[in-house]
Amino acid sequence: MELQTIKNRFEIVGNSAALNHALETATKVAPTDMSVLITGESGVGKESFSKIIHALSNRKHGNFIAVNCGAIPEGTIDSELFGHEKGSFTGATDARKGYFEAVNGGTIFLDEVGELPLGTQARLLRVLENGEFIKVGSSKVLKTNVRLVAATNRDLLERASNGKFREDLYYRLATVPIRVPRLGERKDDIYLLFRKFASLFSEKNKTPVVQLDAEAQKLLAEYSWPGNIRQLKNITEQICVLEADNSPVNSNVLASYIPISVNNLPLTLNNGNNDGAFNQSFSERDIFYKFLIDMKKDVSDLKKIVIGLIENTGNREEFIRNNKEDIGQVLYNDVKYQENQGSQVIIPQVNTPQAINHNVIDVQHFEDEINPHTIAEQELEMIKKALTRNNGKRNKAAKDLGISERTLYRKIKEFDLE
């Protein structure tokens, strides 16, 4: 089956190379009974790939069930998957079939498989190896013929090294691995997805289809989308509801719907005129001080850790010599704010100067660069300005600052701004 036909059938939007590779792998492995492990960040659409694999397999007429392993309590997960006998535990008033028995001949999709308890992992490994399982409270061995597709947004090998996931189970699950790319890797697909969601919403609610102007489309592509497709869909629906009369939506309007934080901003922001997307909320100085405020806590915590480690080693010079690269990387980060000829605003960059000399760390040098009292004053000023801009509305001020409402409330109390 051609790739575009599959995309049309399963409503997959996009043409990025990483997405196409993932789809090609899914279609090739679908006719087999091999186990598949789908990896990718939350919200990228991993469950859609499991449905594609089932629909194109020889089990397509059998049952398909999706199980969110992270949403089932540890005490009941074995019963859900493998079933239980009457009286096997408190509340087990009747015998119950588990998913592996009920879906015999079909496909089970285990989402968030990395959250399974170790005991359940051992049971799952036995099913994968020989198709056998035992109900909770029973000693009878049952057989099942189930195709298993698993998904995770975690690094299972890292969890295995920490004793939280069985390494043998990982290799059994990942017979064929499929990585679904995050939305930030699919820049050319983002506006296509926006148009799809806007069109679906318009059709459902019988409203005009919302459009974006060229600058808004550019902003949409530059945003990092940490929530991936799920986040894009939610923001699209918000815009379709609240901006239906303002189509085409410009970059200023779109920016008000995108959660702004330094980590999610693109590297450069258009600042050629007063219509820049972020000018209303963040000046150049605001961005710089926001960056310093975020560093404040990290610096304080790091200093405590380093001092504690040095005190416990008994040999300060040896400790510094062995760790000077890692310590210097963080302690001597030189925050630089650069401006490029008035055409672009450059987000603060972090560079490592030659600050370690003969294994001696001059902490005072770093403190002179970023003074905690000065940061506190700028933090107070930013909070005051945000509250003023938003007429004292704390929820909007918190969003403006890129922090949670709880953090803002704590800061207001800390600075006695009640």
CATH of residue 408's domain is 1.10.10
Grade residue 306 by pLDDT with cuts at 50, 70 and 90: low
Residue 128's nearest CA partner among 27, 28, 37, 65 is 37
Residue 86 pLDDT greater than 70, yes or no: yes
If asked whether residues 164 and 151 sit together in one domain, one would say yes
Q: Is residue 270 part of a domain?
A: no
Pair of tokens at residue 182: 């995050």
* Structure tokens given for 82: 């493998």
Q: For residues 209 and 374, what is the distance between their CA atoms, to the nearest angstrom?
A: 49
pLDDT at 369 over 50: no
Distance CA 95, CA 25 (A): 40
Contact call for residues 257 and 238 (beta carbons, < 8 A): yes
Average pLDDT rounded to a whole number, residues 266-275: 43
The CATH number given to whatever domain includes residue 224 is 1.10.8.60
Look at residue 243 and tell me if it is in a domain. yes
Same domain? 106 vs 253: no
Query: Does 294 share its domain with 157?
Result: no
Cα(75)–Cα(29) distance, rounded to whole angstroms?
34
pLDDT greater than 60 at residue 344: no
According to DSSP, the residues that pair with 64 across neighbouring strands are 107
Residue 414 in this model has a pLDDT that exceeds 90 = no
Q: Flag whether 265 is in a domain.
A: no
Compute the half-sphere exposure of residue 403: CA atoms within 13 Å on the CB side of its CA. 20
Q: What 8-state DSSP symbol labels residue 400?
A: H
Is the pLDDT confidence value at 210 over 60?
yes
Question: Residue 378: its pLDDT value, please?
Answer: 75
> What are the structure tokens assigned to 240, written together?
């379709």
Same domain? For 312 and 251 the reply is no
Closest by CA to 83, choosing from 101, 64, 71, is 101
Of the three residues 181, 209, 224, the one that is the final residue of a domain is: 181
Residue 94 and residue 353: Cα distance in Å, rounded?
69
User: Confidence class of residue 41 from pLDDT cuts 50, 70 and 90?
Assistant: very high
Helices 394-401 and 405-414 meet at what angle, rounded to 10?
A: 100
Residue 276 lies in a domain: no
Q: Answer yes or no: do 58 and 118 share one domain.
A: yes
Same domain? 149 vs 173:
yes
Specify the pLDDT at position 78: 94
Domain boundary among 209, 242, 258: 258
Q: How far is CA 391 from CA 267, 319, 388, 398, in A?
A: 30, 52, 5, 12
In which band, very low, low, confident or very high, does the pLDDT at 65 lie, cut at 50, 70 and 90?
very high
Residue span of the structural domain in which 242 resides = 185-258
On whether both 74 and 18 belong to a single domain, the answer is yes
Whether residue 281 has pLDDT greater than 50: no
Q: Are residues 78 and 211 in the same domain?
A: no
Distance CA 182, CA 10 (A): 19
Of the chain, the percentage scoring pLDDT greater than 70 comes to: 72
If asked whether residues 142 and 190 sit together in one domain, one would say no
pLDDT tens digit sequence for 118-146: 999 999 999 999 999 999 999 999 999 99
Residue among 84, 70, 57, 25 nearest 147 (CA): 57
Most confident listed range (161-175, 293-307, 313-327)? 161-175
Confidence of residue 346 (pLDDT cuts 50, 70, 90): very low
The pLDDT assigned to 407 comes to: 80
- Tokens standing for 114? 């990395």
Exposed / middle / buried, residue 235 (Cβ in 10 Å: 0-12, 13-18, 19+): buried
The domain total for the chain is 4
If you average pLDDT over every residue of the chain, what do you get?
80
The tokens for 183 are: 């939305």
- Residue ending a domain, choose from 181, 207, 224: 181
The two three-digit tokens of residue 245, written as one number: 């009369």
Name, in order, each residue with C-beta under 8 angstroms of 382's C-beta and a sequence gap of 6 or more.
286, 289, 290, 293, 401
Do 55 and 191 belong to one domain? no
298 in the same domain as 336: yes
Residue 320's pLDDT is 56
**How far does CA 248 lie from the centroid of its chain?**
30
Residues 6 or more apart whose Cβ sits within 8 Å of residue 195? 209
Pair of tokens at residue 171: 């290799």
Same domain, 47 and 163: yes
SS3 322: helix
Averaged pLDDT for residues 45-72: 95
Asked whether residue 366 is assigned to any structural domain, the reply reads yes
Q: What is the pLDDT of residues 328-341, one digit of tens each?
A: 544 444 433 333 33
The reply to whether omega before 208 is within 30° of 0 (cis) is no
Q: Is residue 400 part of a domain?
A: yes
**Is residue 279 in a domain?**
no
Residue 312 is assigned to a structural domain of this protein:
yes
Confidence of residue 395 (pLDDT cuts 50, 70, 90): confident
Choose among 351, 379, 374, 368: nearest CA to 293.
379
